[in-house]
Structure formats: structure tokens, C-alpha cells
Structure 1
Amino acid sequence: MDATHNEALTAWMEEHGYSSNSLARAANTAFEHLTGKPGRYDGRMVRKWRSGLVRWPQEVTRRVLEDVTGVSAAALGFAPPKRATPAAPSPQEDPMHRRTFVVGFTTAVAAAAPGRASPRTIGMSDVQRLQHKFASVVASDHRHGGQPGIEQQAASLAEEALNLQNSGSATQRVRSNLYATAASFRSSAMWAAIDGRRYQEAVGHMREAQSLAELSGDQAIKFRIWSHAGTLYRHMGRPADARAANDVARNLRITRRDPLFASLGMARQMAIQGVAQERRGLERTFDQAQEAIGRAGQDVFRPVWLLAFYDDAELHSLALTAYLAIGDWSTAEYHAHRCLAALRPHMRRSRAIASCRLAHAQLAQGDADTATHTAIAVPADAATQHPRVSRMLQEFGAALRATAPNSPCTRSWTEHTATWRATA
């Protein structure tokens, strides 16, 4: 029999914005969720479905397509082969067709009933609207960082994404994206709490984010959450837990597909090595992270949160953290200067943190004048409103008074901090 073009599948793809290749990718994800093994669908196979060359895919493929689209294989235009035996039911009496007809008829009657609203269809446009809000949260975090308002806004938007899940019908692709978006918001709330040193709140956000990420199946957001978990435990002084969490992130498949994720995983591992006083491995880990970031191409789709912050500046920032932790002050200062030179203009919080760390490294080498000048250059709003920056500057002042109690630079620092209190 000649192949007949599958109009139903083609119409569904056009309505939902799928190309042959993107549907193949979605099918591979669904196949892996279903079987635990990587899918092997490609654009050529999808074109065979559309052209009618494949009239009735294998059972596992039908289940995959139903998971992706949210409708039955029959509704997608596929039909089982007719049986040659006389006892076989005619197409009009095929139980599958009868069920499809009855369900469709019942749905149509219910939709037409007076006073009953049709269920809302949630689409990718709804997801994109939330993702635009997520980009704003990321931008706000890089300008201010650690603020309870950012944490609360991100948590509220996570709930908005979850409420949208329950407000209507959606395809498997849309639902996965909604869960991933909710997990992204919750992980931003987690990061704001970490940055603000509100660690118990961060733990609560982490648990919510991990559950949502599992529901989404999104490798990138899983990486972000587990990598943040490593940072959380590092700040809490629990290097063994930090390493375990970061290892989960580093062992995800996405780190093998994209060198930029691999580089970030190794860079954060380096910071954990510093807290654990593992001096020997630091230089090697930095070299591996730098080599990986050098292999990361520009023509790869990556999430906005990764592109917004991870680059050479962040790599040197994490190296600065590691070398400060082990007391290698001169190497820490080198990485601080490299970080500050490479930072993008909008990274105000990161610049303040790197400047504080540079001041500590300079003071530890006996250069109190230069260290004080560096610390004074930290903007007043960051010094007074960002918890991590405030604490680092308090520690700097204590160290300065201990090493040079009667020096002019100590008096300058005391006068400078007095102006913060006066304007606070």
C-alpha cells in the first residue's frame, strides 16, 4: 500500500512549534524516562512518521509519543495494520477507534454544554513568559545579591509556575518545562539565601528545588541545584558534604556533552579543595577547568543562568577562594587581579566580593596601605547591605587593627566605616 502523509502528526507539530529534529530530541528524553536507556530517534525517523512510511510504530515508540504529546497514537494519525482474517473487526468497529470516538464525542458534548468553560490549554508561550521573569531574577541577583526580597520573589515565582501546572491541560514537553522553570526559580531562592548567609532557609529551598528538578528531567537545572548544594555545604563548613553534592553535579551527562558545565563543576570542586586544605590538587584542578572552558564553543544553547555568570572571571574568583582558604596569599592575589580585570560591568556583587578577598590577600602579605585602599574602594551599598561583603569587611577591619593598630591606614579605615554607620 502506498504511504499516506500523516496530516494529524504534522498538524500537531506545527501547532506546538516542533521541527523533526526537536521532536526527535523530546522523544529521546521521554524514551530515557520510560526505559532508563538513551533514545535513538532522529529527524529522519520523525520524517518517516510524518510521511506515512511508518503507519503504526512499535509499542514503546507509541508510548513515547503519547508522553511527549499528551494524546493517543491514534489521535496523532497512526493506525494499526488491518488483520487479514474475516473475524477481524472493521475499522468502524475497531475497539481503539470506538474508544477514541466515544471519548472525543463525550469531550465535545461536555465542551458544548451551556455554562461549562473549556479547560485551558497551557503552552510554551506560558513557559516563555515565566522564563522571561527568571532572567530578571538572575539580573537582579547579579546587581544586588543575597537580599531577602530576591529570595522571596524567586520562591513566589516558583509557586506561580506550579499553580500554572494545575490550571489546565498541557503536553508532556510543556509540563517538563514548567517543572524545570519552577526548579530554576527555587534554585535562585536557594542561591539568594546562601549569598545572604541564611543557610537554614537555603536548605529548605534546596529540597524543594531537587524534587522539582527530578520531575522535570532537565539535566541543566539538576546541575545547577546540586552545584549550589556543594556551595551551600562549603559555606557551612562541611567539605565532605560539599564534595559529595558537587560530585553529583559533575557526574551528570550534561558535563560530558558540554565542556562549560564540566569546567564549572571542576572550578567549584577547586573551592571545596581549598576548604578541605587539599593543596596538592589545586593547580591541576584549575588547569582542567581552564582547559574545559577553552573548549566550550559559542554556538551551543545554554541556560540563561549559566551564561549570566560563568566565564574566566568566575573561574579566577573560585581559584581566589581556594588559595585564600589554604593561605597562599600571593597566588590568591594573582587570581583576584585576573578576576577583577575580566568581570563584566553588571557583576557588581561579584566585584565587591573579589575586592574584599583581594584586600585580605594584600593585608596577609604585610601591605596594609594597599589593602586598605582596596577595601575602601568597595561600594558602600555592598558593604552595608550584602551580608557576605559586610562580614568580609568586618573581618578585614579586625585583622587590620590586629596587625597595624596605630597606623594611618587603620585610622583611615575607622573613619571610612564610620561614614557607613552614619548613612545607614
Structure 2
Amino acid sequence: MARTRNQALADWMTERAMSETELADQLNRHVATLTGRPGTATDRTVRRWLSGEVTWPQAKQREALTRVTGIPVDGLGFTRRGATPAAPGVFQGPPRRVGMSDVARLTARMADLVAADHRHGGTAAVESRAADLARQALDLQQLGTASTRVRGKLYALAATLACSALWAASDGHRLDAAQRHLHQSVILAGLSGDPAVQFRVWGHAAVLYRQLGRPTDALAAADVGRSLSVNRRDPLYASLAHVHTAVHHGDLGDRAATLRSIGHAQDALDRADPLLPRPPWILFYDQSQLELLTVIAKAVLGQWAEAEAHAHRALALMRQRPGLVRERHRALVHLARTQLEQGALAPAAAHARAVPPSAWHGRTAHLLRAFTTRLHALAPDAPETRAWTDYVREVSATPLTTAPRPH
């Protein structure tokens, strides 16, 4: 019997630049979630589907295919034995109903992604996974029927996931990619009509503009986020908006506005109800994070002793939040920098050493490069400097000696 190439599956993979091995790996992860046992698909399995040698995968693989692609298997060119094949990309039978169960599934995966980001920082893997989940949320929009509420939720999820990709890319200083994710995030957040999602997008836009050396644009983006209705509904958002604004005022040299914004941030946080239901991406923010962002704002102003006190408070509070691994590492580097600027070389180097080498990537590595550059500038001949340089050579193939933006 002549084989018919599965063009629908081939087209789906081509649109996403996905290889047979990558699809097989994703399917196996979903099978493991569904059954508790690893999947057995390989690149050869996918090639047999593409060639038409296998026209109807195993049940668990069919379910995994639907979860990965967001498309029923008969819309991916598969047919039961004896059934008439569907035209590529054309669904057989009634259109699928997309509902809140699909939203809940993607929301759970987003929560896992946010947790991974807090543990590991902005790795390329986190960025890629976030972008892939955003595509899945958008693909669900094309499946068939859904209520207005569900469509809004899917746009909000897609925007949030694109924003996670933006954050991961900017965290890893992949700034061209970050700007592409920002463009998509802004559009999707607008389509969602969700002010909390829009708040996150504009907050991350401000951080990206700061990295790009555009402090006026950073402050403008932060002001957009601060003007959204979610700040009036929930003081936690208002607190985060105010402390971010403080950092941007500091970059522009406005000391009074910086300190005023820090005060507003603390007042708002004191009024926030910690038990209100909130999306997973903002659950990181609490007093420890306000202290950490205050360190950055006061360091920009050169208030090193006050910044050091805030860094100590941030680290003490983070002991109650063991999941915030990345934030703890950054707090350690910021603390080291405040001590270095006050001439306390030994404790500064000790706190920098407390960051494990496995965390020397992304923004954490950027901060360590700044610390190293400043240490060499302030005390080039000190024994602490020589010891730190030797340590860096031991743990990193590329010495942290280039001069990035300090804060």
C-alpha cells in the first residue's frame, strides 16, 4: 500500500523550526507527566509519522501530540486505519472547544517556568521554554470555538509567557532577543485587556531600557506601569512600581525623587494583603525584594553605607524564601559591592565568593564582572585583589574582567 506523507505534521514542525529529535523529546516529557513513566519516542518515531509509515500513533503519544501542538491528532494529518485522511491542516469532525482546562494546564506550566527562573536565572533554556509555551497559548486561539473570557485568558497567558522570555533574555544579556520578545509582549498584553499583565510587560520593558542605557525611556515605561488600575486595586503592585521607579530616578540623578519613591513603595507594601490571590510571576515580591531594589537605588546615589544595611536586611529575610535562589545570589554580590566601595575588601570578597560558580551567568555574572573591575580599580595591589583574581581563574574559563554597567 502506497504511503502518503504527513504534510500537516511536517508543516507544523517547519513553522516552528522543530527537529524530529526536539519533537520526540517534548512528547516524552508529556508522556512522563501523563503516565509517570518516560516516553519512548525517538527521532525515528517522528520520521515514521512524517513518511506515512505510521498513520495512527499510540494512545499516550496521541494525547502528548495534542498537548504539545494544541491540535487534535486528526488535524495533524493522522488517521485511524481505514479512515479517510484529512486534507493537511483541516480538522475532521466538529471544531475543538477550547476551555478553562486548557488555560489551567498552561498556567500550571507557567508556574513551573517561573520557579525555574527563580532557581537558575535567565538561561537560554528558560527563554526558549517560555517562548514555546507562548506559541502554544496562541495556537490554542486558532483551534476552534472558545468563549470571550477564555480567549482573553489565553492572550494574557501568551503575553505573560512572552514576557518571561523577555525577562530571561534580558537577564542573560541577549538584548536583541529581548527586544523581539518585548514587541510581542506589548501587543499580546494589549489584546488581553488584563492590567496586571500589562503591568508586568511595562515593568520588564523598563528594566530592558535600563540595560540598553536609555534611562529616560526606562522611567517612561515604569510610569506607564504605575498608572495602570491594578496599582489602585492591589498595593503590592503599587509598591513594586514605586521601587522600580526609584531606581530609574536614581539613574537620572534625582535624589529627592528616588528617596520619595522608596518611601511610597514601603507605605504601599505595608498596606498590601499577603493573602490575596495573585499570578505566580509576582509572588516573588515581598519585603526582601523591596530591600534588594532599595540597595540598587541607593547604590546608584552613592549611599553605600545605607545600601549595605538594606542588603543585610534583604539577605536575612531571604532565609525565609529558599526558592529565591537567584535573588539571594544577587543580594550577595550587591552586598559585596557596597562593602568594596567602603574599603572593606575582605568581607566584600568573602560575600562575592559565597555565590557558587554555577550561578555565574546572566545578570549575576554581569554584577560579578562589575565587582571585579571595581576591585582592580580601587585596590589593584591588595592581597584580597590577587586572591580574588586567582579564585576567578579557578572557577571560570573566561575571567570576569570586562567592564559592564555597574548596577
Counterpart of 1:69 in structure 2 is none
Query: Counterparts in 2 of 1:101-180, with a 5 A limit?
Result: 116-180=92-156
| Structure 1 SS opposite 2:343 | coil
Tell me, yes or no, if structure 1 residue 375 matches structure 2 residue 352.
yes
- 1:416 — aligned with what? 391
Give, in angstroms, the shift of residue 394 of structure 1: 2.1
- 1:345 is aligned to 2:318: no
Aligned to 1:218: 194
Match of 1:310, SS?
coil
Change (3 A) 1:161 1:274: same
In 2, Cα distance between equivalents of 1:212 and 1:403: 47
1:400 pairs with one of 369, 375, 379: 375
Which residue, out of 348, 351, 354, partners 2:331? 354
- Matched with 2:206 is 230
Tell me: CA distance 1:151–1:422, structure 2 relative to 1, closer, same or farther (3 Å): closer
Shift of residue 422, structure 1, vs aligned partner: 6.2
Counterpart in the other structure of 2:180: 204
Q: Once the 2 structures are TM-superposed, how far is the Cα of residue 265 of structure 1 from its aligned partner?
A: 0.5
Q: 2:243 aligns with which of 255, 267, 276?
A: 267
Partner SS, residue 278 of structure 2: coil
- Is the aligned partner of 1:336 residue 2:311? yes
Aligned residue identity for 1:412: A
- What letter matches 2:204 in structure 1? H
- Separation in structure 1 between the aligned mates of residue 92 and residue 380 of structure 2, nearest angstrom: 78
| 2:357/2:396 contact within 8 Å kept | no
Closer/same/farther in 2, CA of residues 116 and 332 from structure 1, 3 Å limit: closer
Q: Aligned with 2:255: secondary structure?
A: coil
Q: For 2:256, what is the secondary structure of its paired residue?
A: coil
Counterpart residue identity of residue 336, structure 1: A
Among 266, 284, 298, the alignment partner of 1:323 is 298
Equivalent residue, structure 2, for 1:313 = 288
CA distance in 1, matches of 2:388, 2:201: 39
* Aligned twin of 1:110: none
Deviation per CA, 1:266-295: give whole Å up to 9, x if none.
010011111111112222211111110111
TM-superposed CA distance for 1:387, in Å, is: 2.3
- Paired with 1:150 and 1:165, the residues of 2 have a C-alpha distance of 23
Match in the other structure for 2:32? none
Secondary structure (helix, strand or coil) at the match of 1:281 reads: helix
Classify the secondary structure of the residue corresponding to 1:406: coil
> For residues 423 and 345 of structure 1, do their structure 2 counterparts lie closer, same or farther at Cα, with a shift above 3 Å needed?
farther
Mapped partners of 2:262, 2:397: distance in 1: 42
Give the equivalent residue in structure 2 for 1:366. Answer: 343
1:404, distance to aligned residue in structure 2 (A): 2.3
Tell me how far 1:372 sits from its aligned partner.
1.0
Distance (whole Å) between structure 2 residues aligned to residue 300 and residue 392 of structure 1: 34
Following TM superposition, the consecutive aligned residue runs of length 4 or more in structure 1 with deviations greater than 6 angstroms are none
Instruction: Select 2:167's aligned residue among 179, 191, 210.
Output: 191
Q: Which runs of 5+ in 2 are unaligned?
A: 1-90, 400-407
Residues 1:387 and 2:362 aligned together: yes
Aligned-partner Cα distance in 1 for 2:371–2:229 = 41
Question: Which letter maps to 1:195?
Answer: D
Q: Output the CA distance in 2 between the equivalents of 1:400 and 1:211.
A: 43
Partner of residue 82, structure 2: none
Task: Give the deviation of 1:391 after TM superposition.
Answer: 2.3
> Structure 1-normalised TM-score?
0.70
TM-score (ref. length: structure 2):
0.73
Distance (Å, rounded) in 2 between the aligned partners of 1:264 and 1:183: 19
Written as runs of structure 1 = structure 2, the 5 A alignment for 1:44-59 is none
Aligned length: 307
| Distance change (3 Å), C-alpha of 1:252 and 1:367 | same
Tell me, in whole angstroms, the C-alpha distance in 1 between the residues paired with 2:174 and 2:397.
26
Q: Within the alignment, does 1:248 sit opposite 2:224 as a pair?
A: yes
* Residues 245, 258 of structure 2: 8 Å contact kept: no
**1: CA distance, partners of 2:204 / 2:377:** 34
